[in-house]
Amino acid sequence: MRYAVLSDIHSNVVALEAVLADLASASVDRYLCLGDVVGYGPRPNQCCDMIRELDCICIQGNHDLAAVNPAKAEWFTPPARACISWNRRHLRDNNLQFLADLAPSALVADQIILCHGSIPDPDHYTVTPADASLSFAVMKTRLALFGHTHYAEWFALGDGEEIPAEHPQPRGGTCQLQPDTRYLVNPGGVGQPRDGNEEAAYAVYDDEAGEVYLRRVSYDIATTATQMKEAGLPEAMHARLWLGV
């Protein structure tokens, strides 16, 4: 099986279209989405519609939950809160229901855990090896896929080993799964990358090859920025797209 892995689309339909176009030749059998289909960006309905049409195995991110439950946006920064309330006002009822019905995590084919921030807590940012250890402590599979930080990277833990102290292979590359080692892999953000690379990020997992390919694809940032300006979304939220932060 080959799985396309998408995360943190954030209502950026131009980036999502670029990723799906790039995937057209990748012969994937199944699409996985690690949450935050909406929030920040200008096209929440189109992103939800496209994810639903892909028959994706999709879990709920913190912005998806905040779109249907305003109390969950109280701790957001003021610009992020402004964006999610704009998204909430513009989402159709069927897409609000789609977001409300998403599960916080999923087990795929008895071999892959999907989570948003970490396995024990969807809101926890997995940034450091200490953060990663919280997920390794409870994961029962060889591979877990996570998002939330919008950083393309992975953490590996062999039997009795320390978790690497550095982020291995940020900004893409191939994660070759080794025997007796477990992996936490973040495909990076489709719609709002934050690892210093402004290109849309996603991954492909090939379970027969035992490899996760982290990929980047450029998209028309100007179009997304214009859509955000026209929607009256905060300038800082489209300015950051050019920088990948």
Question: Per CB under 5 A, which of residues 11..40 are in contact with Zn ion?
Answer: 36
Closer CB to Zn ion, residue 121 or residue 206?
A: 121
> Cα–chain-centroid distance for residue 37?
8
Part of the chain binding Zn ion (CB under 5 A), chosen from 1-9, 25-33, 154-162, 194-202 = 1-9
**Least distance to Zn ion from the beta carbon of 72, Å?**
13
Closer CB to Zn ion, residue 36 or residue 195?
A: 36
Binder of Zn ion out of 3, 8, 51, 203 (CB under 5 A): 8
**Least distance to Zn ion from the beta carbon of 8, Å?**
4
Backbone angles phi, psi at 2, to 5 degrees: -115, 125
Closer CB to Zn ion, residue 8 or residue 153?
A: 8
Closer CB to Zn ion, residue 22 or residue 36?
A: 36
**Least distance to Zn ion from the beta carbon of 149, Å?**
8
**Least distance to Zn ion from the beta carbon of 148, Å?**
6
Token representation of residue 199 = 């290109």
Token representation of residue 38 = 């909406």
**Least distance to Zn ion from the beta carbon of 115, Å?**
13
Closer CB to Zn ion, residue 8 or residue 195?
A: 8
Per-residue exposure over 33-58, b if at least 16 CB sit within 10 Å of its own CB, e if not: bbbbbbbbbbbbbbbbbbbeebebbb
CA-CA distances (angstroms) from residue 161 to 132, 134, 143, 169, 185?
13, 15, 17, 19, 18
Q: Which of 206, 179, 201, 177 is nearest to 190 (CA)?
A: 201
Part of the chain binding Zn ion (CB under 5 A), chosen from 6-14, 67-75, 126-134, 207-215 = 6-14
**Least distance to Zn ion from the beta carbon of 24, Å?**
25
d(CA 205, CA 1): 8
Q: Where are the extended beta strands (E) located within 93-195? A: 105-108, 112-115, 143-145, 152-158, 173-176, 181-187
Closer CB to Zn ion, residue 98 or residue 151?
A: 151
Token representation of residue 14 = 């131009």
d(CA 89, CA 161): 48
Count, residues near Zn ion per rule CB under 5 A: 2
**Least distance to Zn ion from the beta carbon of 10, Å?**
6
For the window 34-73, what string marks contact with Zn ion as x by the rule CB under 5 A? --x-------------------------------------
Residue 153 interacts with Zn ion (CB under 5 A)?
Answer: no
The residues near 27 (Cβ < 8 Å, ≥ 6 apart) are: 2
Residues found near Zn ion in the complex (CB under 5 A): 8, 36
